[in-house]
Chains A and B, each alone.
Chain A
């Protein structure tokens, strides 16, 4: 097989093979399929930690500090930093490495920057695949840094066992805290830049928001199943200073508590099932979309006729979509 040499080296822990395979899965979705297919058995050992937060909330500096602690514990750390792609030119400036300290023990830390290539949700299409490659490469902990997020980039919730949301003092009031979206998928709230005024107020706002959560917790069995990871766990709040490393020991204890909770309650297996479900759905979407695009490209004439019919009002867009589905050979 085309990539077997690289894959053999990857499984031996070869850094360059890992880097090259990541490049391949980023650029070529068919190749990604082949590669993941042959390394999949060697995945599932890494603990995946998602770090999300607004632009400038200090995600990269925070990760740099956290990584130091994982290195002290002799863990191999993989870091995936996602930054946005320009919607206008398709280019990207990936600047997360600047904040990652250079004295990282080179053998223990693998940092990779990724552009999101227009994918919504805070991650790149290939992020899941890159996680698997780093997992097979031998990382014990994989830290995934999302793009600087707003309120609704919540994909990290599906990829990571523990989601940490970084907040900073002075941004938004208590109303922001009760809005839907990112605040709901967070396992650990970190108030970064604790030396800034307003840090305690931020902590108070989050804890008030969390108290209100109890009513949501018992809504329905279905909700309880799909989101059991969120429902049974009461998120913790910790304030830290990523420049000095203050309170990082406490943070680490909370991370441990969360992993232990996932295991003790058996929720981890639920989480895995949901993760597989959503990942497969994502892959299906890509594959079906590709099929539809190919079909449309090779049947321009028919499509043109349909479009004209829609313009003449003898066909509506829903019925046109059904006709295309029929062309695909799928029952409506």
Chain B
């Protein structure tokens, strides 16, 4: 390639959850690590998110969820991605994800599960090391 490929990341907040400080901190950290970060804002439906993924073609999607609705919403997003044959995007969820929910989310192909207090460097490296393309 003639130019260096940039890692493109989508950061969004699914569902009825307005607490976006965490998402903004993550977006900023990834930006400072040299990535191109799209922040979509709050109240995103699974359809919104999948539509944005189709159009923006990101390498990774970071879902920030503090509302407790991760078990309901995340599998829907993964299902819709499957329907679109999108299998080369890293999808991570973070925020408040109880340990007992992780195996269920992992089954659906989600990764990450970084909670409050995670070192930003850890999250940057997580993205860099888990890309699917």
Contact = CB atoms under 8 A, between A and B. Distances in A.
Interface of A: 15-16, 19-20, 22-23, 26-31, 85-86, 89-95, 97-98, 102, 106, 110-113, 115, 117, 290
B54 A115 contact: no
Contact of A93 (B2, B31, B44, B55): B31
Nearest to A125: B3
A83 to B, nearest CB: 9
Contacts of A15: 54-55
B17 interface: no
B2 A28 contact: yes
Interface stretch (B45-53, B70-78, B102-110): B45-53
Given A20-B57, A102-B48, A111-B55, A90 B37 contact: no
Contact of A91 (B3, B33, B39, B55): B33
Interface residues of B, number: 33
A98 B40 contact: yes
A113 B33 contact: no
B87 interface: no
A214 to B, nearest CB: 44
- The 7 A-B residue pairs with the shortest CB-CB distance, nearest first, are A98-B41, A91-B31, A19-B57, A90-B34, A94-B38, A27-B5, A91-B34
B45 A94 contact: no
> Which of A20, A97, A112, A290 has the most CB atoms of chain B within a 10 A radius of its CB?
A97
B52 A97 contact: yes
Given A30-B2, A91-B37, A94-B38, A19 B8 contact: no
A313 to B, nearest CB: 37
A140 B6 CA distance: 30
Chain B interface mostly: mixed
A23 B39 CA distance: 18
A28 B1 contact: yes
Contact of B56 (A30, A31, A112, A290): A112
A176 B30 CA distance: 37
A110 B55 contact: yes
Nearest to A112: B55
A22 B57 CA distance: 9
Nearest to B43: A102
B40 A97 contact: yes
A136 to B, nearest CB: 16
Contacts of A102: 44-45, 48
B32 A89 contact: yes
B3 A28 contact: yes
B6 A106 contact: no
A127 to B, nearest CB: 15
Contacts of A20: 57
B19 interface: no
B56 A91 contact: no
19 contacts: A15-B54, A16-B84, A16-B86, A19-B55, A19-B56, A27-B3, A28-B1, A28-B3, A85-B36, A91-B32, A91-B36, A92-B37, A94-B36, A95-B38, A97-B41, A97-B52, A106-B47, A112-B56, A117-B6
